[in-house]
Amino acid sequence: MDDGVREELRRLRARAYGPGADISDDPAAYARLLALEDLERVERSEPAAVTTPSPSAPSVENLPTIEGEREAPPEEDAPRERPPLLRSKRTVWAWALSLALVAALASAATSVGVGLVPVAASAGAPQVATLVEDPGAQTPSVFGQRTGDERAFADFYGVSAFVGTAQIDASENRSSCIYLLDTDEVGQDGTTGFRGNFVYGGCGAGIFPATVQFIVADGMPDAFIERFPVGTSVQFVYDGENVGVFSDAG
């Protein structure tokens, strides 16, 4: 068996026993594999000094090729065990899935070994106020389609907070949201519209509350800046019932 034939045998074995085994769908290639393995077995059983083919040893030229349909020569030695071929796409997928599962378990074990690094969910700023609801105030059209659960809160240093439910994504998921508007500009046009130098808003997601946070800048109401100077950080959190105010200004 020359180097070219040995290379062919190597490729056929890869197709038969490797991860992407597909030889079960190619009868001609499978027959060629059997024939070449028979030839290899015969050559290994012959003394190294023998240079002429044994009468019982099939020649490469007489072996069936992938294009041919001749039968492989009969086996004279006891057949050796071969790894089972992957017979179907279902078996291939099962094999791939088992590898993925092993990798996932190994990754999980590594994660457990490394441990969970805690990340602080809050900067630890103190709560400085809880907003007071104003049932008589009109809610602007900031929430889009009304659901009836909109609520308004009393003026807080020139800022008015409104909470309600709004659509938060293209899948029509809805969640609680909070909006902060300039009190002096809400409803000034005689409608439920709004104007002003700022509009801050934020929505929750599942168990996470609706939150608005920002750095105080010029353009906020004077009373707000007097209480929370420019450059300080402020956070409004709506927990589904109340709105808490947090600030690093204390």
pLDDT in tens, 31-61: 888 888 888 888 887 765 545 555 555 555 5
**112: pLDDT strictly greater than 60:** no
Share of the chain above pLDDT 70, in %: 65
pLDDT score recorded for residue 69: 46
pTM over 0.85? The answer is no
User: What mean pLDDT do residues 76-95 have?
Assistant: 55
Please check whether residues 166 and 232 belong to one and the same domain. yes
Q: Is residue 112 part of a domain?
A: no
Please check whether residues 73 and 138 belong to one and the same domain. no
Where in the sequence is the domain holding 230, given as residue range(s)?
Answer: 127-247
User: What's the pLDDT band for 210 if we cut at 50, 70, 90?
Assistant: very high
User: What mean pLDDT do residues 114-120 have?
Assistant: 69
pLDDT score recorded for residue 86: 47
Domain boundary at 54, 77, 100, which?
A: 77
Spell out the SS3 assignment of the chain: CCHHHHHHHHHHHHHHHCCCCCHHHCHHHHHHHHHHHHHHHHHHHCCCCCCCCCCCCCCHHHCCCCCCCCCCCCCCCCCCCCCCCCCCHHHHHHHHHHHHHHHHHHHHHHHHHHCCCCCCCCCCCCEEEECCECCCCCCCHHHCCCCCCCEEECCECCEEEEEEEEECCCCCCEEEEEEEEEHHHECCCCCCCECCCCEEEEECECCECEEEEEECCECECHHHHHHCCCCCEEEEEECCCCEEEEECCC
